[in-house]
Amino acid sequence: MIDEKYISQIVANVLKDVTAPAVANAKGQLGVFDKMEDALAAVKKAYKQYRSYTVAQREKMIANIRELTLAEAETMARMGVEETGMGRVEDKIIKHQLVANKTPGTEDLHPTAMTGDAGLTLVEMAPFGIIGSITPSTNPSETVICNTMGMIAAGNAVVFNPHPNACKVANYAVDLVNRAIQAAGGPENLVVSVAKPTMDTSKMMMECPDVKMLVATGGPGVVRTLLSSGKKAIGAGAGNPPVIVDDTADIAKAAADIVKGASFDNNLPCIAEKECFAFDSIADELIDNMTKNGAYLLKGDMVDKLVKVALVEKDGKYSINKKWVGKNAGLFLKELGIDADPRLIICETAENHPFVQVEMMMPILAIVRVNNIDEAIEMAVKAEHGCRHSAHIHSKNVDRLTAFARAVETTIFVKNAPSYAGIGAGGEGYTTFTIAGPTGEGLTATHSFTRQRRCVMADGLHIV
Ligand code: NAD
């Protein structure tokens, strides 16, 4: 027997679910909640509904995300620069276009089958469930959109805890993906976030038992925290990509490519060339060609003055002056009393200079002269600090290309092109803004956000 009170409780609960608003924050953005606990409850409900959606329906939502991202690329690029004070609008537009056009969808799901005398075994790529994703300030909306596409293509729901300094534009992207999902008939709140992300909301998200996988895109601190969470975690961490130029390279092209890569979005991308090791015999020609391609050569005590602007020194150790990350090269020069507005500042330094050893994310590229390939590789490997992130080289000598790739062991290795070729801009292959070096998934895509599940039928069900 079911008593009346119990029935009315069920009815009240059902009504609460039906009438619960998709929006819980004051600004009316879809999926963006004031409280993390509300975001978690909403995404849990959405994931339950999403379990019954077909792969074709997932693909329709992703197609809509591509379309809206292209339509609103400029809006997000402008918002990103305005909110963070970092990067360049024209380059951020390209980053959004890259995400829209080259992030894989459901085609990246490849089930496998094994058949034989003992029957048929099928391995399917299943969703993990609800994924908690922490995103950086350097590619805020790009990472939200790119991660969403891969994660929902795999059948997951997502809760974001964006970087507090970039949460306006990140949450604009959360709203955008929800608009796209709902226009394709998808569930409300499949992707959620909080209006004011903090360390507390991040902790609550990480500790929520409904969140089954964690993805960190950022510096070493957040990767370390996620890896000690006790949950399946993907860590996409910091890098300090070196580029080598030897005496067999097409020097004019190498110079142009390095200026393009190192100045792109003011050097914010984690893959961008951050220090250059050039053979002494071609270094003058390289520098000359760089200046012809939009670089400004800084010399003498001006380099020391630039160190004082860009970096902070404490007990002989240097770290970045956060105020200057991603700023235009012209602003640095203005600070030094120089009236010029180039794409990139270049300067010659010694190997142990902080411009070489610190991951700066500023349009400043130190060039170190080397005598031979062994010296170049040794210095480049040291400057990469074992991040196993990205490294680049301009050379036509296959033995040297191979020797560097083997020594540096990075996730991305680009030969004879700007660094961004490594994420599919002018290079073959798909794109991602979550490059998982520390945990080894590499360039993450739909397949990275799946669990492998085996289903066995032992009754000889195969057709040969
Ligand atoms: P950041 O490490 O300051 O912040 C990244 C995110 O982690 C933010 O959301 C921040 O709030 C959060 N966070 C930081 N410390 C945390 C902790 N202890 N616990 C929980 N959350 C924490 O990075 P940033 O300045 O926004 O981005 C630049 C850094 O990210 C660079 O080091 C760059 O190389 C790296 N990055 C890596 C990739 C990649 O794919 N590997 C992509 C973009 C950026």
- Are 115 and 459 in contact by the 8 Å Cβ rule? The answer is no
- Are 347 and 301 in contact by the 8 Å Cβ rule? The answer is no
Handedness of CA 127, 220, 138, 24 (dihedral sign): positive
Contact 163 CB / ligand 1 (< 6 Å): yes
Confidence at residue 14, expressed as pLDDT on a 0 to 100 scale: 46
Confidence at residue 464, expressed as pLDDT on a 0 to 100 scale: 72
Instruction: Give the C-alpha separation, 373 to 243, whole Å.
Output: 12
Contact 72 CB / ligand 1 (< 6 Å): no
Confidence at residue 17, expressed as pLDDT on a 0 to 100 scale: 44
Instruction: Give the C-alpha separation, 224 to 318, whole Å.
Output: 21
Instruction: Give the C-alpha separation, 94 to 90, whole Å.
Output: 7
Contact 137 CB / ligand 1 (< 6 Å): yes
Contact 166 CB / ligand 1 (< 6 Å): no
- Amino acid identity, position 185: G
- Are 69 and 96 in contact by the 8 Å Cβ rule? The answer is yes
The structural domains of the chain, with segments of one domain joined by +, span 24-237+444-454, 242-425
Q: How far is CA 155 from CA 11, 55, 134, 384, in A?
A: 30, 8, 19, 36
Ligand 1 pocket test target in 133, 135, 137, 327 with most atoms within 8 Å of CB: 137
- Are 90 and 81 in contact by the 8 Å Cβ rule? The answer is no
Q: How many angstroms is it from 156 CA to the middle of ligand 1?
A: 23
CATH number of 24-237+444-454: 3.40.605.10
Tell me the pLDDT of the chain (464 aa) as tens digits: 456 655 555 555 544 444 344 555 657 999 999 999 999 999 999 999 999 999 999 999 999 999 999 999 999 999 999 999 999 999 999 999 999 999 999 999 999 999 988 989 999 999 999 999 999 999 999 999 999 999 999 999 999 999 999 999 999 999 999 999 999 999 999 999 999 999 999 999 999 999 999 999 999 999 999 999 999 999 999 999 999 999 999 999 999 999 999 999 999 999 999 999 999 999 999 999 999 999 999 999 999 999 999 999 999 999 999 999 999 999 999 999 999 999 999 999 999 999 999 999 999 999 999 999 999 999 999 999 999 999 999 999 999 999 999 999 999 999 999 999 999 999 999 999 999 999 999 999 999 999 999 999 997 666 77
Contact 135 CB / ligand 1 (< 6 Å): yes
The pTM is what? 0.94
> ∠79-83-84 over CA atoms, to 5°?
115
Ligand 1 pocket test target in 160, 163, 320, 384 with most atoms within 8 Å of CB: 163
Contact 440 CB / ligand 1 (< 6 Å): no
- Amino acid identity, position 77: A
Confidence at residue 401, expressed as pLDDT on a 0 to 100 scale: 98
**Size (the chain), residues:** 464
Please identify, by atom number, the ligand 1 atom nearest to the C-alpha of residue 359: 32
**Nearest of 420, 373, 424 to residue 401 by alpha carbon:** 373
If you write DSSP's letter for every residue of 67-103 in order, what string do you get? Answer: HHHHHTHHHHHHHHHHHH--S-HHHHHHHHHHHHHHS
Contact 214 CB / ligand 1 (< 6 Å): no
Contact 134 CB / ligand 1 (< 6 Å): yes
SS3 of residue 243 by DSSP = strand
Nearest CA to ligand 1 atom 23: 218
> ∠371-374-379 over CA atoms, to 5°?
85
Instruction: Give the C-alpha separation, 118 to 82, whole Å.
Output: 62
Residue 158: is it exposed, middle or buried by C-beta count within 10 angstroms (0-12/13-18/19+)?
buried
Strand arrangement, sheet containing 412-415: 295-297, 344-348, 364-370, 275-279, 242-245, 390-394, 412-415
Contact 133 CB / ligand 1 (< 6 Å): no
Q: How many angstroms is it from 254 CA to the middle of ligand 1?
A: 30
Nearest CA to ligand 1 atom 15: 222
Contact 237 CB / ligand 1 (< 6 Å): yes
Please identify, by atom number, the ligand 1 atom nearest to the C-alpha of residue 164: 11
Please identify, by atom number, the ligand 1 atom nearest to the C-alpha of residue 270: 34
CATH of the domain spanning 242-425, picked from 3.40.309.10, 2.30.40.10, 3.40.50.1820, 1.20.120.1200: 3.40.309.10
Instruction: Give the C-alpha separation, 393 to 399, whole Å.
Output: 12
Contact 270 CB / ligand 1 (< 6 Å): yes
Q: How many angstroms is it from 303 CA to the middle of ligand 1?
A: 28
Contact 225 CB / ligand 1 (< 6 Å): yes
Please identify, by atom number, the ligand 1 atom nearest to the C-alpha of residue 239: 34
Buried/exposed code over 308-345 (b: 16+ C-beta within 10 A; e: otherwise): ebbbeeeeeebebbeebbbbbbbebbeebeeeeebbbb
Nearest CA to ligand 1 atom 35: 218
Q: Cβ atoms within 10 A of the Cβ of 37, count?
A: 14
Contact 132 CB / ligand 1 (< 6 Å): no
Confidence at residue 460, expressed as pLDDT on a 0 to 100 scale: 66
